[in-house]
Structure 1
Amino acid sequence: MKILAACLTALLGVSVVGCSSMSPTVDGKTHVYSLKQQCPTLLEMNVGQTLELSLPENPTTGYIWQVAQPQHILKVEEIYQQDQVKSSQPMVGAGGEKIFRFIALQPGEEWIHVKHSRAWEQNPVDEWRCRVRVS
């Protein structure tokens, strides 16, 4: 019985450590997420680190991803990459991917909130949020 209790305690300890650790990074500085990945409850970052968020987008439909509120401690870069189609020329109406890069500039805490909507509509069709603390 004591062995079972010790094993359960060790397992619980490992799972708690996993919850508090930072997200996987590509290069030790960049936290990478997509629409299907939820941000942890609180993402801890250091000044100089980057959060990169990749989202499917087709701006020809009128639906675009945009940052919902201004950022104060994070610099935002937006890049759109059209999907590669069989021809080497870009095609009108082809979808792609919007990439947001949020670069931590100074210590503090902030919410990242991006929404997918058309400019003239009030309610977004999709959203992604992440609470970030920069040290």
Structure 2
Amino acid sequence: MTAARLFLPLSLALLAGCASAPKQNVSVDNQSACPLQLENGQNLILTLPSNPTTGYRWAIQDSAGGVLRALSPEVYSSTESGVIGGGGQSTWRFQAFAKGQGRLRLTSQQPWEPEVEPVETFDCAITVN
């Protein structure tokens, strides 16, 4: 084979090797990362500051159910071990399962006072390609 005939297949092979697949996990820890674009099958890991000892809890108001599905319930972890009343973080895991758009919306408030405005809100537009 001549060099000209080898050039095209080798070039295509090199270009295919350079194409990168999207990351399997996309981590978000604040609203400035929004809006989010995910690929079908990607996992979204949402981590927000939390301190349930104050009575405030994050609650999912809109789970973008048409495009995301929950992989696990909320998991709380303390950032300071051994400190009573110290804050921590809550983590949720979702997976993009269908093309489309949705909103992931969580509010932080005391569950026994639902009429009081939330002290914090996380609101993120999600697009799954």
Q: Please, what TM-score do these two structures have when normalized by structure 1?
A: 0.65
In the alignment, is the contact (CA less than 8 A) between 1:39 and 1:129 conserved in 2?
Answer: no
In the alignment, is the contact (CA less than 8 A) between 1:106 and 1:134 conserved in 2?
Answer: yes
After superposition, residues 1-135 of structure 1 pair within 5 angstroms as 28-35=23-30, 37-41=31-35, 43-72=36-65, 73-76=67-70, 77=72, 78-85=74-81, 87=82, 92-119=84-111, 120-122=113-115, 123-135=117-129
CA distance in 2, matches of 1:66, 1:102: 15
Q: Please, what TM-score do these two structures have when normalized by structure 2?
A: 0.68
Shift of 1:62: 0.8
Amino acid of the structure 1 residue aligned with 2:62: Q
Shift of 1:98: 0.2
CA RMSD of aligned residues (A): 2.1
- Which consecutive unaligned segments of at least 5 residues does structure 1 have? 1-26
The structure richer in strand per residue is 2
Equivalent pairs, count:
103
Amino acid of the structure 2 residue aligned with 1:48: G
CA distance in 1, matches of 2:121, 2:23: 27
Which residue of structure 1 lines up, in the alignment, with residue 16 of structure 2? none
Runs of 4+ in 1 over 2 A off after TM superposition: 91-95
- Which consecutive unaligned segments of at least 5 residues does structure 2 have? 1-21
Shift of 1:92: 4.7
Higher radius of gyration, 1 or 2: 2
Amino acid of the structure 2 residue aligned with 1:132: I
